[in-house]
Structures are given as C-alpha cells and as structure tokens.
Structure 1
Amino acid sequence: MGFFSSFTGTLSLVLSCLYLCVVAESGYAVVERLNDVPDGWIKGSAPLPSQPMRLHLALHQENAHGFEQRVVDLSTPGHPDYGRHMKRSDIRDSVRPSDQALDSVLFWLTSKDIPYETLDVHGNWITFTVPLYQAEALLETRFHNFYNTETGATVIRTLEYSVPEEVYPYVHLVQPTTRFGRLVSQAEMPQFKPTAATFEELSANCSSTITPDCLRELYGVYDTEADPDPRNRLGVSGFLDQYARYGDFHDFMQLYAPNRTDTNFTVVSINGGLNLQNASRSSSEASLDIQYAAALAYNSFATYYTTGGRGPAVPNVGESDESESTNEPYLEQLHYLLDLPDEELPAVLTTSYGEDEQTVPESYSNATCNLFAQLGARGVSVIFSSGDSGVGESCITNDGTNRTRFQPTFPASCPFVTSVGGTYGIKPEKAIGFSGGGFSERFARPQYQDESVGRYLEELGDRWDGLYNRNGRGIPDVAAQAANFLVVDKGNIIKIGGTSASGPAFAAIISRLNAVRLEEKMPRLGFLNPWLYSLNQTGFTDIVDAGSIGCRSGPGPQVPYASWNATKATMADLRSLVSELHNALNQKQPDAANNLMSRAKRTLLLQNALIPTPSTSPEVIALAREILELGALASIRQTDAPTFTRYYQQLQPFYDLERDSSNPGNVDFKTSQRSKITGLYMLLLLSMGDSTTFHTVLEGLVEEASLKGHSVEDDPYIKYPVELERNLMEGSYDKVWRETNSERVPSEDFALFSNVLVGTIRSEIADCSEKAYPSLPISNAKNLLFLESEGAVIEFAQQRGWVLRDGRIYFPVEPEAAARSEKDILVASGTIIENAIGYARELETIV
C-alpha cells in the first residue's frame, strides 16, 4: 500500500453558482444562480409539466463547524473520545436546525399544497416529490431539458431558483436544480475502457496483470481467524446502471479466490436502483468493485448498494432509460444510509465514482461532505477513488475567466472521506500517471494533514504557484495498485484499470482490520484520516518513484510537467529514458513516447536542467537537449504543431550554447539535431504563412553561417525550406509540389510538414477559385488543386461545401461576390491563370 507523502497543487477556480441575496420576484430571494449554461451542456425544450421531481432541501445547520470538529475528535487516536462513535439519534440531534427554521420551511411547503405526510424530514434535510409545474411555482423558476454534448445524457435543471424572503435565511440549497456535475465511473474513463484479456495476460505474472493473489502478496494480506460479524458490512456503491452479477462473481471467485468460493454478496436497492442480472450492457465497474472487495476481505458481509440516479422509466425489459432525468444519486444514497439503524450500517463504504470539483455547486459539495462526516461519526469508513485525470484534464476554470488551474475530483476532495490514488509496478511500486490528486479549492486543509502537507509545500517551494490552493485539503491520502486488473464481466475475462481498482482493494484491507478489532472487542475504525496520518507512514510504503501528470486535453494550454510526488533522479535515469525514447520513436509507439516524455521532463525538472545554467553539468545539458529534441520529433509524428513549437522554444537556450564558439563547459554537441529541428520549424512557419518569423530565423542563420565561412544552403535541412519559400514567393506552386515529392526532402519528418504546406497552398488556390469562377470542370480542378484523382477532387469539394453537378464544380455565390464588376472577376481570374493553371498543365505533363 502506498502512502503519498507529497501532494500536488490542484485547484479548480470554481464557483459554479453565485449565491446572491437579490430579489427575484416580489417577496422572493434568489438562492443560487448560474451565470450561463455550463460548458458541455446545451439547453433544450421544456419538460412535461407532469414530470415528477424529487427534491432535496437542506436547511442551514446551527453549528456545522462544531459538529465536524467532534467527528475529527472521535476519530483521532489519543483523544478521550476516540472510537466513541455517535448513534443515529445523536446525529439527528446534532444537525437538527432550529425549531423556528424547520417550522417556517414546513409551513411554506404545506402552504404550497404539498401534503405534510409526503415530507420526509431527516436531520437538516427535507425530501419530497412534486410534479414539475408545482416545483416551478414553488421555486419561482423554469426547468428545461439540458443535453450533455459528450455523453448524450439528459437532465432536467434550471439556471436559478428562489424561495420566499421569510424562509431564505434558513434554506441552504434545493437540489437537483443547478447541479450539472457529471458523475463518472473511474473505470469507464476513455483511457480505461475494458479490453479482453489475451492468453499471454492470463498466464502472466504480477508484473503484467493483477489478481487478488498479487495484491495479497504485495500488501501482506493473509487470512485471519476472525469470526464473521454482521457489524462488519463491506459496502460497495453502484451508480449509472452498473449491475453486480452473481454469475460473474462466482466465476471470478473460482478462478482467482478458490478459498472464497462460498463467499457471496447481497444487493440493496436505493431509490429504485435496479438489479438486472441479464442486462446486455457491460458492468465492468460493478464487477471490478464487488469482485476485488469481496475476494480480499475476510468473512465480511459484502453489500452492493445499487442507487437509481436516472429516469424512472424502463422502456424495454431488462434495459433502463439512458436519460438521467431528475434524480440525485449521492443524496439518495446518503439519506438512505443515514436513516438505517446503527446495526445495519456498513463498516466500510467504497465508491469508485467522481466528478470535477468545479462542476458541482459549492453549496452542494459542502452539504454532501457534511453527510459523509455524519457517516464517519457513526463509524463508517468512507473511501473514494481519487480520480483518473491526474491534476486535471483541461485545467481550465469554468467560472468565465478560462484561467489555467489544476482541478481536483469531488467527493475525493471532501476532508471526511479517504481518497485512494493509484500505483503500478511491483519492485518498486510507482505512482501511476493518471492518478488524481492535488488540493481542493473548496475545502480547507484539515488539521490532521498539517504536518505532512506542510513538509511537502516546503520542499515544493514556489513551483506551480497560482495553479493551486496551497491551503486546500490535499489528495490522495493513500494509494494502491491501479492497472491491469483481471475481472470477469458478462462471462468474459477482461483487463481494466483506474483508481476504481485502488479503492475497493484498500477498502477490503480496512474491512480486515475491522474484523480483528471487533474480535478484540474494539470499535470499528470509522473515519480513517486522523488515524492514518497519526501513523506517520508506519505500515505503509512511501511511494517516491514517478508521479501524476495532467492538463493534456481540452481547449486550454498545457501546463508543462504538471505532477506531484517528485523523485530524485540520477544520470542513469536520464540515460535510460533517452534510450527508451529512441526505441519508442523508432517503433512508432506514440503513446509510449508521450508517457516517457512526461517522465523525462519531470526528471529534468528535478535536476534543474530544463534551462541550462553554469552550474548544470555538461552531460546533463547534452541529455536534456536530446530529450527535448526527441519530444519535438515525437510531436511532429503526431502532427501536433503547437507542441512542436513549444519544444522548439524550449530548445533555444541549448542552441544558444551551441552557437557560442567558446562553448563554456565543453558541452558535447555531436548528437545535436539543431539543423533538423530548425529546418522543421521553418517549414512549419511556411505552412502557417508566417513569412516574418521565417525570415527572422533565416537572417540569424545566414549571419551565423557567414561568420563561419559557410552558406546556409550547405545544410540540406535548411536548404529545403529556403528553396520552398523561394518558389512560393515566385508563385511557382508546381515547383513547390515537385519539391515536396522529390528525393530532396531531407527526411520523413519533413514530409509530414510538407503535406501541411501543400494543403495550405491548396486551400489558398481554392479560396481564389471561388472568387474567380462560377464553376470549373472537375478535370481542370484536379490539376489546379494538385490532387491525384478526380475522386480526391470530389472529396475535397464536399469538404469545402461546393456543389457537384454534371462533371463540374459550382462555387457558392456570396452576396458581395454577385455584386462584383466584370473587371474584378477578370483580375482574379488572371491571377489564378497566371499563378496556377500553367503550372498545373506543366505538372500534368511531368506526371
């Protein structure tokens, strides 16, 4: 089991909702308001007025801080109250709002024709179901269907809601209303789509695939003699139509836990959650969670809590509706569990779902986190996977400012849950790149983390300043294996990964500890974190190799080397990484190259070698330059021009050393690919039409070459883009075409950017053709556009939106084009004829 002694700064600048005490209608005040429809959602039609809405209304607690401090006290070893868990009645008394608040809100609801007997009051929450038209009148709002552009899911939500001024001081939130967060199964993330296990993987050892036996051996999990105890229930959360199948479970036990073949689990339905044993869709998340939790635990009463969080309709037998409709799965599950008698609560609850913290209204995350604290107070260890996006996917805030910030995952960021990150490998065990982590923007750092996080921040210094909340709750708390787990789903053995695997494995170990404690007449562990941090890593392995990355997708800029849990690197590490990078590029393995580059750049960062300094050793400078050059080449082969440009810019300080004839430090430049990288950059500038920067680079090269008595065209890597630029200035497109298809192309990498350049020229000719002609024969267009066949012309025409009819291409006529004089058209036609058609005919003759 790995204990992350370091945390990354992960901050989502998120205030999804603005809490405004402004008057909406006469006598009403706005509780929550969104400035705009959240990213990734589209506002649709109005739902049916009769659509049932199940609403959860939270009232402000009178002393929420005092209650949460009490939870920490009874969970902290050495405190007089340690292990004295609260009863259900104690919790209700502690969180109950004032009589005035409760009476005022109940009077308001019943005055709006909601029968008192339909109001479910638990602590400071009131739950009720009303038709949509009644909910709209109650909250002075209008609901709409909203569609998620990524998943196609539909939810019924609003952008603001209000309550009467006389109850406004008491109402904390009403949901689901403005909550657009998208609950995600970590095992269903795109990078972890389950795949069928190959024969080699089925017979591989623990360094390639993970089974329960591998985890037992790695973490020293051996059978104990504790008797079964109904107080030691092991709960597994199920959402999003994930069904735990008994058949798959027993097949898995026979294969990978033969000493557990008599083990079984029960299914508990919450809010209409289904238990479809023959559903056609994959349930890989449910299979992973229940199979590993039960296989690793000992004599636990495993329970799968299937919670309905989608629409109530089931249109076809055995299948559920894909629309999420109005339900709120977290609140439904939490209220159900907190209403259970003390003896029926699970001792451990593991959940492998989460969402970006910034996508959840702050009032909702605070209220939900308080419910997790209530479970902890009653002796439940609440465990969440930390997420599978590193420090964030796009790392762009959704508050309208579009700032670059790290993004943590909720509910893992709640200080009253235990967040489990991911590792891989055996000797040594390393932090896996996708493992979620960082610092919460919403929740302050709890006292139990002060010492560990303080040490980390002191070592971190000012790195990542402005990208995370230094005062936030750090995640993850612990880590476990998270890759290449073998699972049985729908009768097939599949391979799957993610922190979805880490959470259930850690939960099973806590369940084992509880079994021993109960046998010894000790209380269950309950809320774990104060105890975990008090151990000062005793019983844990400090994971110091590798780290998490992120900020690699979406519209925002990449944050270089975004990671945490940094390691001290050696020269051997650098040399090994360079060798592996060469192999990955030679074997055309882009994913492997990207992963290696992330590791290499972290290593350079730790060596302070990203920018050469007088104190940097010559060998490190040479290796750093070579790594960045390999990164530049890898980006070209993935046609990623922005990344290539960043690498080119990072390489300039190294190339400045190469230009320095005195070469202080005697750095070896024999392996330098400066000419090749520079030539590729010049070719990229041509394809972008940036002649100004092209000539700036060229002038510097000419000056440098003249000082050495050379010509820039002595270098084939530089001569190639110079010759192309010369042809472009002449308008000799046919020569450009011939040059890009000749043996004079210096390397395969140049051919990639050459194709981009030809595409740019083709687009310019197409633009000019649209202005010059009403139509052209397809055969002429083939030559004009430097295309290989008429089929290619047709495909290009369709992409441009041109009309194809009777063997001709008809260009769209814009209003301003229709008003042009005949003289203007002749001028444009002359330009085309002069610069292109003649060359096209010449090219046809050559071909």
Structure 2
Amino acid sequence: MLYLPSLLSLAIAAQVALATPLKSRTAYEVKEIHQVPRKWSSQGRAPADHKLHMQIGLKQANFDELERHLNEVSDPDHPRYGQHLAVEEVHNLVAPSEEALDLVHEWLMTNGISEFNYSPAKDWINIYIDVRSAEHLLDTEYSVYEHEDGEHLVRTSQWSLPKHLHDLIDTIQPTNSFMRSSPQSTDWIQFEDKYTPPGYKPPTNATIAKVCNLASVTLECFNTLYGTLGYEQKATLLNSIGFTNYLNQTPIRPDIYGFLKLYNPPAAPEAFTFESVEIAGGPAAQDTPLTPAQAAADDFSKEAVLDAETILGMTFPIPVTSFSTGGSPPFEPDLNSPTNGNEPYLTWVTYVSGLKKIPYVISTSYVDDEQTVPKSYAQRVCQEFAQVGARGTSLLVSSGDFGLGNEDSTTCFTNDGKNSSTFLPAFPASCPYVTTVGATQQFEPEVAAFREPGIGFDGKTHGYYASGSGFSYYFPRPFYQDQVVPAYVEALNGKYKGLYNPEGRGYPDIAAQGLYFAFFWNQTLSTTSGTSASCPLASSVLALVNDALISQGKPTLGFLNPWLYSKGYKAFTDITAGNSSSCGVDGFPVTKGWDPVTGFGTPVFPEILELLECS
C-alpha cells in the first residue's frame, strides 16, 4: 500500500521551491561506482517499462549515538547493561532531519514522483518506478545482467545524484548491488551407511559415544555435547526465537512434523502451529507435503526446513517465528509488477524494525561475497542490524561454507574477475553488529568443519566444504575484538600478507556442529551439512540461555559480542584443530583462543548459565 507524503512536508517543499531555484536541478555527480562482479555479464539495456521497487536510504541523524547506546547496554561491565531500548527510542535516534526529508522530497517531486512511503524511522523512502524514470532520476542506464547459472537482475554499475544530496543519501537500491545470498548448506545425502573420515577419533566418553553418530548427528547428540539435555524451561511464554527465509524458501510443515515425531515427539504438533510471517510477498509456511515438481527442484525449501527442524527440536516449547521475505523473482521482459530487486536483508530488517516486539534470538543462514555488495549498501544494512540489537535481540548469521571464500577450493578471485588469489570475506557475516557462527565436526574433540571434494557416504562426488573464515574489507575491527584479533594476526608472522585485511572485522565469533545433520525432507530421512545447520543450532542454545535469564527477572542476552569477547568466551569450548583449506592455500590456522575459523568455539550451556549467575 502506498502512502502520500504528509501535507506538511509537501507544503514546506512547495515553499522552498517557490522561494529559491530548485536545488534538484543542481549539477549531478556520480555518487557510487561498483564493479560488476565476475560471473555476471550484461545482456543489453533493460526494458524501459520494467518496474522497480526502489529504496532510498537517507543518512541517519544520530547513528553514532545509537551505537553508543548499543555498546553500553551490551557491555556486561557497564551500569546500563541489559537496559535495551524501546522501538520508539531507536527510531528517534536514527530518524533523518526534517531538512533532509524536505530536500529529498523536493528532488523526487521535481522528477515527477509524488507517491512514496517510509520505513518506521523515516530513514528509508520507498518508491515504485519504471526503469525509464529511474534512469532519469539517477542519471544512469540500467541493463539486464545474467549470472553464469542463468539468473537475471536489472542493475547498473554506477549512479548519480544532485551534488547537494550526496551527504543526505547513503545508498539507493536496486542500483549496483549484485548480491544473491544463498543458503549455507552443502549437500543432501540419502543413505544409511556409516562413514568415518580420515583421522577421526571416536569419543572416549561413553555417554557421547552412545548418542553421537558421525553418519547422522541428532538432537540428542547436540543436547549432550552442549549440556542442554534435561534442561527444564521456566519462562517459555515470555521467550521467543525466530529464523529468516529468503529466495522463496519456506518451511514445509509435514516434513518438520516427520522430523519431530522421530526426534522430539512432544514438539511434533508445533510443526503445524508455529507462526509464519510473510514479508513483501514471501511464501507462507506450506501445510501440505512437497508436490512432485517441488521435490524435483532438489533444493526447494531445504534451508527453511532445516532451520525449523533444528530450532523447534532444540527449543520447544519456546514460541518460534518464521520470517519469509519475498525476492529474487526471475526477470521477465514483460513483467510490470514491482519487485524488491533481491535486496533481502534490507526488506526484512526494515520490516522487523517496525515491529513492537521482536524475537529475542533470530537465526540467518544466508551469505554472499562481501564484494558483490556496494560498501554503502552493506554499511546501511549493518546499521539496521544495530537497531535490532539495541532492542535486545541477538542476531546470529552463518559464516559461509567455502572457507576463505569461493566454491572452488583452489582459487579465489577479485571482484573484477582477475585470476589472482585473494580472500573473499562474506556478508552479512562481516557486519560487526551480528554474531557470526562457524562450523565444527566430530565430537571429542570437536574440530573445524572441513571436507575434501569427493567425500560422501554414497560414493558420489560432493563439493568441498570448509567453515567460513575471514576479515572484512568494508568494516574495521570493532572495539570488542581489540584484545584478541591483533594477537592472532601477529602470530601469523606475515603469512598471507596482502591477501586479507588485518585491520578488518574478523569472523566467525563462535561455532557449532555443522556436518551431517539428521534431516527430514520430502518425507525422507537424510542428512545435510553446512553453517546453515550451525547457525540455528547455536541460536537454539542461546534461546535456552534467555529462558534462564528471563525466569530470574534478568534481561535477555541481546547483542552478544561485547559480552562474548570480554567474559562469555570462558563458557565456550575452544576448538584448536581442523582445516579451512581454500583459495589454493591451507587457510587460517585453527589455534588456541579466538581464530577466524571457529571463533571462540562451541557453547557449554551450564557454564554460560554459571557465568551469567543464573544456574
């Protein structure tokens, strides 16, 4: 639904237009150029009548102040720890100035755009516009770009604004973002034979050995490894957890029911009752089994099913919310309905920011190469995540499944496609306002998840898999990493110098099991792997921590990282072995303490409760 600007804003803009020459007619200058990523090629000019849902990100007036609040309420040594902000407080801090709003309104109306709506904080303006009008508005040319796998996007490599608006507008999309975030699950294997990887050491702990089978890792194993087995929830109805779905992924309720019937029977009815929230045309959770066509699509909704099975299985009866955000429809030359242009995080987070109540933990298992996203866009989306964290929600994201950054384990590429080896950090894993989750495998001890190409129970060739790892080029090292990351970098003694940014935000922060999860899809028991599994698993453990906190009248964990890096790491099992070989090199070493493969390691639930003084 479209809303007209307020009459007051229109009146002010009209007065400005009458009193002075129209500022929107001042000279245009290029605002941003972003290299078209490799694997994308132009197929010619975009049809002039193709419709775009354009989102204009206005500069937030007091983001530095919001960040200060976020850091204070997240710092366990600060008097304000846990005093999370209300939605109105967050919106007031980030709302742009009235002058900025009026100048942008003037520019839009001068270009014939009189209908638009806002995000809850008015820091985003939404317009619906055809390509011809967008090209005039931004002094650019849009083309249809094709990915080597056949996907199409309507994009441009650069765009411009009147000079006086450069400092008032951070980003506009869809323009030069080629993000196509994918679920971080690496395979789906249907078999019964056990498999033992080279060098595997069986658990000596009889309890772990009894419930943890490397060939199919179950909820009972997770609960035993991380100490949640037997925990009785005390604040169920006051707690909450959610997960995100993109790219038309949606939970398949009958499959989730089948999984829960096997591994957590009391939770099984919840498969048909957990909340499904649809955003921007995203599909609702499906009440019926997969159709033959859906099953033939191979990857149809596997990520959404995996997230739901893991979270419901681990956290029942905590209320669970599934967020399905529409996006990435196939481009069709005759399609005239607005699309969201495959900007999934932005669409989701601006919706969630407007909610009065947000789940206390939210899991996201989608990533893309940082370099496919313009820096301005990545920074603004990351700032939106900060708003969610300030309200007391822990945002967890997957670190990725390709080690240092490419599905080809032997080579990584710069954004312009040059065949030079350079490491590729992932987004949103590189955002400093989220907690990024890597993957482990085996049980006693756990090691960093890694699988050579060609290894599979069924004898078929499977791609390599390595826990995502790296340092951001877009985001500098956050303050909470100052005590551990420089020491790790120094210990590298110059290794990989020039191939990564030693001053960037390092990730992941923590890790959890991520190889051969027991998985039920298309009414069939199987397994799947990836940080797509690790992220909802770690999120589930933290949701149980929140239960203990809430039951004692304490605030939820909220933005986790300041607590994690100052104290929380003591309650995690340090991972000191494993491999992340990729980009033709051995990868960053897994070491004692924090490392950019497994972070601080895997959670120990009883020790976290003891550290938080709620055991």
What is the TM-score of this pair, normalised by structure 2?
0.80
What amino acid is the match of 2:91? R
Mapped contact 1:298–1:511 kept (Cα < 8 A): no
SS in structure 1 at match of 2:569: coil
Match of 2:127 in 1: 128
1:356 to 348, 357, 369: 369
1:250 to 254, 257, 266: 257
1:465 to 476, 494, 497: 497
Match of 1:297 in 2: 315
What amino acid is the match of 1:444? P
Mapped contact 1:154–1:324 kept (Cα < 8 A): no
Distance 1:269 1:244, change over 3 A: same
Match of 2:462 in 1: none
Match of 1:214 in 2: 221
1:261 to 254, 257, 268: 268
- Return the offset for 1:52: 2.0
Match of 2:440 in 1: 423
Aligned positions, number = 524
Mapped contact 2:54–2:340 kept (Cα < 8 A): no
Distance 1:491 1:416, change over 3 A: same
CA distance in 1, matches of 2:214, 2:527: 14
Match of 2:166 in 1: 168
What amino acid is the match of 1:564? P
Match of 2:351 in 1: 336
CA distance in 1, matches of 2:142, 2:119: 23
What amino acid is the match of 2:576? V
1:641-680 correspondence to structure 2 within 5 Å: none
Mapped contact 2:243–2:364 kept (Cα < 8 A): yes
Mapped contact 1:244–1:287 kept (Cα < 8 A): yes
Unaligned runs of 5+ in 2: 1-23, 196-209, 451-465, 594-615
Match of 1:432 in 2: 449
Structure possessing the higher radius of gyration over alpha carbons: 1
CA distance in 2, matches of 1:160, 1:455: 39
- Return the offset for 1:403: 4.3
- Return the offset for 1:460: 2.3
- Return the offset for 1:248: 0.6
Distance 1:324 1:463, change over 3 A: farther
Match of 1:565 in 2: 590
2:522 to 487, 490, 494: 490
Mapped contact 1:424–1:481 kept (Cα < 8 A): yes
Match of 2:231 in 1: 224
SS in structure 1 at match of 2:484: helix
Match of 2:157 in 1: 159
Match of 1:39 in 2: 38
Higher helix share: 1
CA distance in 2, matches of 1:561, 1:448: 28
What amino acid is the match of 1:378? R
CA distance in 1, matches of 2:79, 2:166: 39
1:43-54 correspondence to structure 2 within 5 Å: 43-54=42-53
1:656-805 correspondence to structure 2 within 5 Å: none
CA distance in 2, matches of 1:544, 1:127: 48
1:284 to 296, 302, 307: 302
1:411 to 428, 451, 457: 428
Distance 1:532 1:567, change over 3 A: closer
SS in structure 2 at match of 1:166: helix
Match of 2:27 in 1: 27
What amino acid is the match of 1:273? G
SS in structure 1 at match of 2:85: coil
What amino acid is the match of 1:33? I
Distance 1:231 1:536, change over 3 A: closer
Match of 2:204 in 1: none
SS in structure 2 at match of 1:251: helix
- Return the offset for 1:168: 2.5
CA distance in 1, matches of 2:279, 2:376: 24
Mapped contact 1:224–1:298 kept (Cα < 8 A): no
Match of 1:517 in 2: 549
- Return the offset for 1:536: 5.5
- Return the offset for 1:339: 0.7
Distance 1:401 1:89, change over 3 A: same
- Return the offset for 1:466: 1.8
What amino acid is the match of 2:514? A
- Return the offset for 1:361: 0.6
- Return the offset for 1:53: 0.8
1:234 to 219, 224, 241: 241
Match of 2:393 in 1: 380
Query: Which structure has the higher relative contact order (CA within 8 Å, separation 6+)?
Result: 2
Mapped contact 1:185–1:352 kept (Cα < 8 A): yes
**Could you give the per-residue CA deviations for residues 760-816 of structure 1, whole angstroms, max 9, x where no partner exists?**
xxxxxxxxxxxxxxxxxxxxxxxxxxxxxxxxxxxxxxxxxxxxxxxxxxxxxxxxx
- Return the offset for 1:26: 6.9
Match of 1:783 in 2: none
Whether 1:195 and 2:157 are equivalent positions in the alignment is: no
CA distance in 1, matches of 2:540, 2:388: 18
Please report the RMSD computed on the Cα atoms of aligned residues, expressed in angstroms: 2.7
Identity of aligned residues (%): 35
Whether 1:100 and 2:134 are equivalent positions in the alignment is: no
CA distance in 2, matches of 1:404, 1:68: 35
Higher strand share: 2
CA distance in 1, matches of 2:499, 2:44: 38
What amino acid is the match of 1:430? V
Unaligned runs of 5+ in 1: 1-23, 552-557, 569-847
What amino acid is the match of 1:470? P
